[in-house]
Amino acid sequence: MQKHASEETHNPTVEEVPDEDLVAHPPPSDIPAESAPASDATLSSKAAGKQPMREQPAAPKKPALDTQSEELFPALGASKAPANAAPSMWSKKPAAVGKAANGRGPTPQMSLPGRYSEQIQLHPSMMTPRNQLKKPVAEVLRDINKRSKATIEMKSGPGGVIVFEGSGPVDAVRIALKEVANQLCAKQNLKVPIPMSVRGKIVGKQGATIQAISKKTGAKINISKQEAAEILEDDDMDATIDVQIEGDPFAVQMAKQDIEKIVNEHTSTASTRLKHIPAEYYPFLNQQLAGSQVGQNAKMQIPQYTNWRQQAPAQNPASFAPQAGLPISLSGDRQAVAELRAEIDRQVQQLQRQLMLEQMAVERGRHQFIFGNKGTSLNEFVKDTGCSVILPPDDDESETLYIVGPSDRIEEAKERIMDLASSMTMASADISRQFANAPRGAQNHARDVTRYLQQRKAIQDIERAHNASIVPDTTGAWNIYAPDNKTAMKARADIMSLVGGHPPSRFQPVDVDPFYHAHIREQAARQIRDDYGVRVVIPDEFDESPILLVYEDRSASPDYQLPRQPPQQSEVQAFQQALQQAQKHILGMLSGNAEITSREVEAPVKFHDKIRRHVDRHHQSLGEGQIPTQVSFGGPRQAAQRRNPGPTVSLRGPQDSVDTLMQSLLAFIEQEKQDELERGFTLTFDFPQQHANHLIGRKGENINRLREEFDVDIQLNDGKCEIKGPEAKANACKKHILEMAKKLEDETTHHLNVPAQYHRELIGAQGAQVNRLQDRYNVRVNFPRNKQGNDDDGDEGGSRRKDQQQPNEVIIKGPSRGADQCRDELLSLLQYVKDNSHTATVSVAQNQLPSLIGSGGKEMEALRLETGAQVDVPSARDAASENGRAEIKIKGSKKAVEDAKKMIEEKAKVFDNTITRNLEVERKHHRLIIGSGGSNLRNIILQAGGPEEQRLHNRMIRFPKTDVEGNTIRVEGQKSVVDKICSAIEALVKDQESQTTENIEVKPEKHRLLIGRGGETRRNLEQQFGVQINVPRQTDTGPNRSQVRIQGQAENVEKAKAHIIELTKDLEGETVSIPRRFHHVIADNGQFFRRLRNDHKVTVDHDGQRPPPKTTAPTPTRANGGSMPLITDEPGSSSHSWESHDLNSSTEEGDIPWTLSGASPEAVAGARAKLEKALEEAQRQDTIGFLILPDPRAYRHVIGPGGSEINRIRKKTGTKIQVPRDQQSGEAIEIVGSKAGVEEARDVILEIVQNNA
């Protein structure tokens, strides 16, 4: 006890911690230790020294306890740890040990297996100094023994520990030992890191779980009050929070055990990312842990690390810096992850002692042959040399390589690097020499060609073609790496030919402010390529080069082939014209824009995120077509990876846009600065604890959104909501939260019993149906999922565990009115689904599916529209089965299902009875079978009993296509119909093959007798005699012009031939010469010919002579625009218009023969007499007169009742009189006859008009 009272606090150093690799057995003076998962947090020395143990016989040969005995020290999760706290398996950083003093040694495990006798051992450093005890130790034990049914004794133990042994009833012993620890041990603070995902489980509903643990153990337990942003904004659910335990070591350890038990129950698996390990160790860890037995139930992902990133490796391996953006990922069984993490930490400590770093310079272009597709793999390199190589990044021009490995193997690694780097032969190509006299200089042109070919990926194509690697340089010096000299030379020749096809005349740089680069790329590049054949090469984001225009071709861009020959001189002018047009297009597009200006705004770095959001909102408000101002943070426009953020915001764009945004930013920043001064303002108000989860949201998304929206900090704690920030914003946020609480108070939850088979229809395609309900009624509709998730979002007071949702349970949650309406509509929809959920299946042949679906699904759509049923036809893959049948599913109302099933079954029955026959028929007969417009084919099908629908005919009888060889005609349908169709086709072919063909001579002028009007005579003859008659066309010449072909059966051909000969035999005829000037007068527009044919069966021809041209018929002058007669009260000479013309004024001279042909001499004679009479009349009718009356109403008096007056005038004067049918003003009465007769008729008409005036 003296030692206990006087011992000073001991703080071990790293050197004092025994190395378990060197010390196999700890000395007796050391505290016993036991190996445990390295992931558990380290206890303080006070907690570490306390260990309940089972009573056992003394072992005189062993001065120290066997801490490796699982029976004596069952594992409780405590770990052997160095002086510094070990990392937690759930955390990304070491777990913090709270205010515990004397963190000496590892933590022994507790075990309470004894029923009648138990003991605890305490290290003196864990106990309260004697001078601070209220009573001596012996007196404390005596008081405890008096009050308890158990007896406590104190004795010395191995290693200087003090053992307190209790005996008696189990419960009494444990209570007594706990009281000993409470009175004799100093208070201990311990922080136990736990995964954030199980925080709600430990807190329990309304804090019930954590309060029960505290009551049971006597320890004070509190969830660490970390900033909400650190807890809720982290989307990594494996992040940890601290549970702080305060009390005596015995109580702390029991509470820790209970908490870890809960963690184990809910985190059987774990995943974490190790960000504290330098990436330079990754290749060695990957090599050493690949076959390790540690953590077999865990998955490890170590990133490949071949190129340094932010900075080159430190010269001293112990100073290697971790890279948080490139972590090691561990996942799997929790214990296995912990073991694997401990092993990784141990390996890293060894590597820090074993590795060294050396630098080595290798030509930059050969770096590509060390690792990657053109070199070896990093794993192979480490395996072969025991070393790792770190290359500079691609955007760094450094040649320095960093070799990391054991000192005795560095030289071997260097040799291996030299072998890999020198494995390829190098050749050089200076493309600038190709055009040394380029107008803009050889170097500039080489840079232009390089930029263009790189964007065109032409260099990659050459690399693939020659299995080479090309390192282009903008100065024109290209390095070519190939397996041998021959390949290198071929690749070089290909490059030079490609460069030769791109002279300076194809290129035109355009200086455009970089501000417009993105706008040109998006809005103009494609149009310029399509319109002018010019490709626009836009510089990269941080490249200050001008825009480059390259003429390609007017053809489409995908079809363009890069030229490899110099252009002709005639083509150069076209290049220049297209380039000028493209340049003009770009400059015209940018003309009229304001001058580009740059401005900088002072803004603290802490405001940059808020400024980004403000700028985004500003840009979203811009009108269409406006180019947003460029905004960069931390300094002027430069490569982001080489910029350290500074307290500035740079703006670049048109003057007016920059000024507008700058004013907005200045006001925003000033407001933020003012708000910063008010950040201390705090509002606290009640918020219903049961709605805390809604306010927080999944992974804190709701509360984070409110923080961002109102720019305040929000904390929830046991039904209290605390808002910290500017007063105005805090009040606005409070108002919003209280309104949310009010809505949540009105929230109603309905649990509906909906059979699972209807869930899919109620949810709809991609959730369309349920989303519509949620949006309409502002509610949440939850259907059960296959796998239930337990999201425990809670606050300090506890968390609500979601009830397990039953498979047939649908939950509607939201405002009472909306929830009620949504429930009613969902139930109504459910009833509709039930009513339309009748199903049936129909078995059909697989090869019938295309015909059931129809072209473009027309047949199936028609079936759906007719029946109203939903018909599901399986795809070809799903329908495949051994029996050749497919199942069609029908769904809908009872009647719709029955109708659709009946229709499909009828079609299936027809199809199942359908047969297919193939007929071999020579192609020369196919046209005959089809007939004109498919008439023969249609008649064959209808006569065989086939369908009348035209669209089905082509499906029943299919002829080979013209571009396909073969004579097979495929006939498909019902057996009886197919047999009849085949018989008809065979009979038709047989009849065709037995037919004969004869030609008869028929004069061309008599062909019309065989054709008739519209071919009617020919069709009648073909039908009458059962033959085909082919009359030569008028365009035919030579002997064929008079050959009429007759095809058919021999007897039919003979009959048709005899009939045609009789029909076209030469008739009785007589020729009459008619003066040419009277030809058209007699013909009377063909009326005279028709009268002869109808009255006497006589036809007229002119022996091949062409009739004279028609002369222009005289017309009344006043009808052509002259003045009209006036309507006056008194008739007079000027009250009508009259003019006459000579009809025999034609200049035609000579005669034209009229040959009259008829069946008999009598008919011809009658026709001749009529012709002579018509000639005589034509000779007499030498005058035509036009009489225009002033009043159109007088025309009816000229005609008289039933035409009596006009007929009387015609007969009396011997003239032809035509009265205008329309009888409108200005229309003339036409009188034709002799001059005397015409004038007499005029006078009679005027007299009639005057008498009726």
The per-residue pLDDT for 645 is: 60
Which two structure tokens, joined as six digits, stand for 351? Answer: 């590597």
CA-atom Rg of the chain in angstroms: 55
Domain that holds residue 719: 682-745
Q: Distance between CA atoms of 1000 and 1046, rounded to whole angstroms? A: 8
Strands (E), 83-122: 117-122
DSSP 533: -
DSSP 1113: P
Contact 330, 292 (CB under 8 A): no
Q: Distance between CA atoms of 589 and 1143, rounded to whole angstroms? A: 75
pLDDT tens, position by position, 523-581: 888 888 888 889 999 988 777 789 999 998 877 666 788 888 888 888 888 899 999 99
Q: Inform me whether the pLDDT recorded for 1122 exceeds 70.
A: no
Q: Which of 639-653, 711-725, 814-828 has the highest mean pLDDT?
A: 814-828
| Of 228, 218, 225, 290, residue with least CA distance to 258 | 218
355 with 382, same domain: the answer is: yes
Q: Distance between CA atoms of 526 and 818, rounded to whole angstroms? A: 51
In terms of Cβ atoms closer than 10 Å to its own Cβ (0-12, 13-18, 19+), residue 1069 is middle
Which residues 6+ apart lie within 8 Å of 5 measured at CB? 129, 130, 131
Q: Inform me whether the pLDDT recorded for 320 exceeds 90.
A: no
CA distance between the termini of the chain: 162
Q: Inform me whether the pLDDT recorded for 691 exceeds 80.
A: yes
The per-residue pLDDT for 507 is: 93
521 with 410, same domain: the answer is: no
Which amino acid, one-letter code, is at 321? Answer: A
Q: Inform me whether the pLDDT recorded for 731 exceeds 90.
A: yes
Torsion 315-317-322-325 (CA) sign: positive
Q: Distance between CA atoms of 493 and 509, rounded to whole angstroms? A: 27
Which two structure tokens, joined as six digits, stand for 1150? Answer: 């000579």
Average pLDDT of the chain to the nearest whole number? 79
| Of 461, 354, 460, 372, residue with least CA distance to 409 | 354
Q: Which helix (H) or strand (E) holds 774?
A: helix 768-777
Contact 659, 601 (CB under 8 A): no
Picking from 421, 444, 464, the residue at the C-terminal end of a domain is 421
Which amino acid, one-letter code, is at 1172? Answer: E
Q: Inform me whether the pLDDT recorded for 394 exceeds 90.
A: no
The per-residue pLDDT for 810 is: 93
Please state the rounded mean pLDDT for residues 802-809. Answer: 76
The per-residue pLDDT for 333 is: 82
The per-residue pLDDT for 753 is: 92
| Of 970, 1154, 995, residue with least CA distance to 1069 | 1154
* φ/ψ of residue 655, rounded to 5: -55, -50
| Of 171, 159, 56, 170, residue with least CA distance to 108 | 159
Q: Distance between CA atoms of 357 and 355, rounded to whole angstroms? A: 7
Picking from 590, 619, 637, the residue at the C-terminal end of a domain is 590
DSSP 402: E
672 with 713, same domain: the answer is: no
Q: Inform me whether the pLDDT recorded for 57 exceeds 90.
A: no
Which of 114-128, 282-296, 985-999, 1136-1150 has the least mean pLDDT?
Answer: 114-128
Q: Which helix (H) or strand (E) holds 615?
A: helix 608-620
The per-residue pLDDT for 812 is: 93
Q: Inform me whether the pLDDT recorded for 196 exceeds 70.
A: yes
341 with 469, same domain: the answer is: no
436 with 416, same domain: the answer is: no
Of 462 and 233, more confident: 462
- 908 belongs to a structural domain: yes
What b/e readout covers 760-772, taking b as 16+ CB neighbours within 10 angstroms?
Answer: ebbbeeeeebbee
The per-residue pLDDT for 206 is: 67
Which of 71-80, 400-409, 562-571, 774-783 has the least mean pLDDT?
Answer: 71-80
Q: Inform me whether the pLDDT recorded for 284 exceeds 60.
A: yes
pLDDT tens, position by position, 1002-1018: 888 788 878 888 888 88
Q: Distance between CA atoms of 158 and 639, rounded to whole angstroms? A: 66
372 with 431, same domain: the answer is: no
pLDDT tens, position by position, 211-249: 888 888 888 888 765 543 344 444 444 567 788 888 887
Q: How confident is the model at residue 295 (pLDDT cuts 50, 70, 90)?
A: low
- 500 belongs to a structural domain: yes
Contact 330, 375 (CB under 8 A): no
Angle between helices 1016-1025 and 1050-1064 (to 10 degrees): 140
Please state the rounded mean pLDDT for residues 1179-1204. Answer: 85
Q: How confident is the model at residue 103 (pLDDT cuts 50, 70, 90)?
A: very low
Which of 25-34, 214-223, 375-384, 1230-1239 has the least mean pLDDT?
Answer: 25-34
Q: How confident is the model at residue 681 (pLDDT cuts 50, 70, 90)?
A: confident
Q: How confident is the model at residue 55 (pLDDT cuts 50, 70, 90)?
A: very low
473 with 391, same domain: the answer is: no
Q: 1057 vs 1042, 1049, 1063, 1159, CA distance in Å?
A: 14, 12, 10, 20
Q: How confident is the model at residue 636 (pLDDT cuts 50, 70, 90)?
A: low
Q: How confident is the model at residue 916 (pLDDT cuts 50, 70, 90)?
A: confident
DSSP 55: -
Strands (E), 923-974: 957-958, 968-974
The per-residue pLDDT for 239 is: 63
Which residues 6+ apart lie within 8 Å of 668 measured at CB? 610, 611, 614
Contact 121, 127 (CB under 8 A): no
CATH number at residue 639: 3.30.1370
Contact 689, 674 (CB under 8 A): no
Q: Distance between CA atoms of 1083 and 444, rounded to whole angstroms? A: 90
Please state the rounded mean pLDDT for residues 1034-1042. Answer: 83
| Of 86, 54, 88, residue with least CA distance to 259 | 88
Q: Inform me whether the pLDDT recorded for 729 exceeds 60.
A: yes
| Of 926, 1167, 957, residue with least CA distance to 1069 | 1167
The per-residue pLDDT for 115 is: 52
| Of 958, 983, 960, 986, residue with least CA distance to 972 | 958
- DSSP strand pairing (507-510 vs 547-551): antiparallel
Q: Inform me whether the pLDDT recorded for 306 exceeds 80.
A: yes
| Of 360, 203, 344, 210, residue with least CA distance to 272 | 344
pLDDT tens, position by position, 1150-1174: 888 888 888 778 888 888 888 888 8
* φ/ψ of residue 123, rounded to 5: -75, 140
The per-residue pLDDT for 395 is: 76
Q: How confident is the model at residue 826 (pLDDT cuts 50, 70, 90)?
A: very high
Which of 79-88, 217-226, 682-691 has the least mean pLDDT?
Answer: 79-88
Which of 101-115, 297-311, 1012-1026, 1162-1176 has the least mean pLDDT?
Answer: 101-115
Which residues 6+ apart lie within 8 Å of 564 measured at CB? 497, 498, 500, 501
Picking from 364, 387, 421, the residue at the C-terminal end of a domain is 421
- 223 belongs to a structural domain: yes
Which residue carries 């090309």 as its tokens?
Answer: 470
The per-residue pLDDT for 1125 is: 52
The per-residue pLDDT for 94 is: 39
- 1019 belongs to a structural domain: no
Q: How confident is the model at residue 843 (pLDDT cuts 50, 70, 90)?
A: confident
Contact 229, 164 (CB under 8 A): no
168 with 197, same domain: the answer is: yes
CATH number at residue 1232: 3.30.1370.10
The per-residue pLDDT for 737 is: 92
Q: Inform me whether the pLDDT recorded for 53 exceeds 70.
A: no
Which of 753-757, 923-927, 1221-1225 has the least mean pLDDT?
Answer: 1221-1225
- 821 belongs to a structural domain: no
Contact 725, 711 (CB under 8 A): yes
Q: How confident is the model at residue 1127 (pLDDT cuts 50, 70, 90)?
A: very low
Q: Inform me whether the pLDDT recorded for 676 exceeds 70.
A: yes
Please state the rounded mean pLDDT for residues 53-61. Answer: 38
844 with 955, same domain: the answer is: no
Which residues 6+ apart lie within 8 Å of 243 measured at CB? 191, 192, 193, 194, 202, 221, 222, 223, 224, 259
901 with 953, same domain: the answer is: no
Transcribe 791-838 into DSSP letters: ---EETTEEPPPPPPPTTEEEEEEEHHHHHHHHHHHHHHHHHHHHT-E
Count of CB atoms situated within 10 Å of the CB of 1092: 23
The per-residue pLDDT for 1107 is: 84
- 1238 belongs to a structural domain: yes
- 1092 belongs to a structural domain: no
Q: Which helix (H) or strand (E) holds 958?
A: strand 957-958
Q: How many domains does the chain have?
A: 8
Q: Which helix (H) or strand (E) holds 748?
A: strand 747-753
Contact 700, 233 (CB under 8 A): yes
* φ/ψ of residue 1067, rounded to 5: -95, 170
What b/e readout covers 505-518, taking b as 16+ CB neighbours within 10 angstroms?
Answer: bbbbbeebebbbbe
- 811 belongs to a structural domain: no
- The answer for 1131, left when phi > 0, alpha when psi is -120 to 50, beta otherwise, is beta
286 with 352, same domain: the answer is: yes
406 with 489, same domain: the answer is: no
Q: Distance between CA atoms of 408 and 894, rounded to whole angstroms? A: 86
Which residue carries 């929809």 as its tokens?
Answer: 829
